[in-house]
A and B are shown apart, each in its own frame.
Chain A
Amino acid sequence: MIELAALLFFPGGLFVLLNGMAYEWVDRKLVARFQNRVGPRWFQPLADNVKLLVNEEVIPENVDARLFITLPVVALAGVLTAALYVPIAGFDPAFSFEGDLIVTIYMLSLLTMATGLAGANTRDRFSLIGATRTLTQLFSYEAPFLLAFLAPAVVAGSWQISEINDYAGDHLWLILTQPIGAIVALLGLMGKLEIPPFDAPEAETEIVAGALTEYSGRGLALFHLGRNVELVAGITLLAAFYLGGISNPIEYVLKTLAVLFVLATVQTAVARLRIDQTVGVWWRYGVLLVLLQWLALIGAEVIF
């Protein structure tokens, strides 16, 4: 019974969805303020999603209708599952087992995979190009991102998110001891969320809306919600690992909002990278940086 409540209302399900929409608003509002605009009203993401949910869903010709309908559900389910394993709102994760870090990171990737498949499923040049770019980008940032999240796990000596969280809370903030890893993790999160400078997969000015061009109504809403939940789960994970752990709601709000602020700032300050540049940046510098971090870690282990 309690587990079902955790799954549906708090801290999983409903709470993450609302939290995700609230954080989307914070993000949009911050970007708007940086651009000297007023920005959206506080209920904007809610209105957007409700409107999309009640609108007609057009199923285009030449698609596999079953796949077209199920992919958004899979995407949302994946990220919601990931959210169950991270310390949302500062409470212990609803579910936890040895090795859940790996599961969480792959569940977060499920959204990207589903987006890519959704784009490849529709016969539309924009969504096809978008799908190619989405998957290309996934393969470029995924390895450094994973390595950047594994470094704290190795230091803490555990693959369980709650234990790493406790470890981070007891020691010096890991962003100070592993600054390079923290930067790569932050950039990897931006790549995952497809926000500038890594928004080539959905570049509005070139390929309309990328992989989701043909989606309307319910499908689009579910993908949007999935993106929001991914934002929450991602920044929670980042704050828990690198910003000294999350052990109570106040810490949760402060630390995740700090990460969100950095995300919004970087996103306003930079322009979009071309897809080949994105791949170049990740494989030339991202991987190198993260390997440097690992070398430093190993060195520290050997010396001390």
Chain B
Amino acid sequence: MQRLERNWNTAIERIKTWARTNSPWVVHFNSGSCNGCDIEILAALTPRYDLERFGVELHGSPRHADVLICTGPVTRQARDRLLRIYEQMPEPKFVVAIGSCAISGGVFQGCYNIVGHIDEVIPVDVYVPGCPPRPEAIIDGVVKLLGKLRPSPKPVIEEPAG
């Protein structure tokens, strides 16, 4: 009986993970970037790269989204908005930080109006470096995020190449 229940639960978990990894809906927020990264994100969503074939859809409302794609450093003014958007998203939610600025503050580091990088305000799951990163890199970041969702038997440590 217990085994049946366990099997049932694992089956349900599998279905949930399958659905989540195959249908990541994203919402995009710019918390103070120079717009370079945002243009690359938009490029990744255009027919040239066609993210819909992976099930990625851009949604306007944080209530509909699973993945928050953030760009840029967090300015003092955008901090509350970023937090509010993050809080509005339903569980489970994930954050992808795009660009050097989102990772470390980049060229804006030390500015009088900057709180810091994204990580200082909300938890980030995947970082995509670059100034700005190419659309391929952004897609790779989202795919890495989806890979994290799947249960893996043992942790994989990637050695840096070269």
Contact = CB atoms under 8 A, between A and B. Distances in A.
A47 B55 CA distance: 9
A209 B47 contact: no
A208 B59 CA distance: 8
Q: Which of A40, A213, A214 has the most CB of B within 10 A?
A: A40
A115 to B, nearest CB: 15
A37 B23 contact: no
B53 interface: yes
B19 A50 contact: yes
Contacts of B66: 51, 55
Contact of B90 (A43, A46, A216): A216
A70 interface: no
A277 interface: no
Contacts, number: 84
A35 interface: yes
Interface residues of A, number: 31
Given A28-B52, A56-B90, A217-B90, A35 B47 contact: yes
A220 B23 CA distance: 14
Interface string A46-77: 11101100111110000000000000000000
Nearest to A32: B52
B47 A54 contact: no
A60 to B, nearest CB: 8
Contacts of A54: 15-16, 19-20
Nearest to A218: B90
Contacts of B23: 44, 47-48, 50-51
B135 to A, nearest CB: 14
Given A58-B88, A208-B61, A217-B90, A36 B22 contact: no
Contacts of A48: 19, 23, 25, 55
Contacts of B61: 126, 208-209, 213-214
A209 B64 contact: yes
Nearest to A207: B60
A223 to B, nearest CB: 11
Contacts of A215: 63-64
B16 to A, nearest CB: 5
Interface in A23-48: 28, 32, 35-41, 43-44, 46-48
Given A28-B52, A58-B90, A220 B64 contact: yes
Given A56-B91, A58-B88, A39 B53 contact: yes
Contacts of B60: 204, 208-209, 213
A39 B52 contact: yes
B114 to A, nearest CB: 28
A167 to B, nearest CB: 42
A40 B16 CA distance: 19
Given A54-B16, A58-B90, A216 B64 contact: yes
Contacts of B59: 204, 209
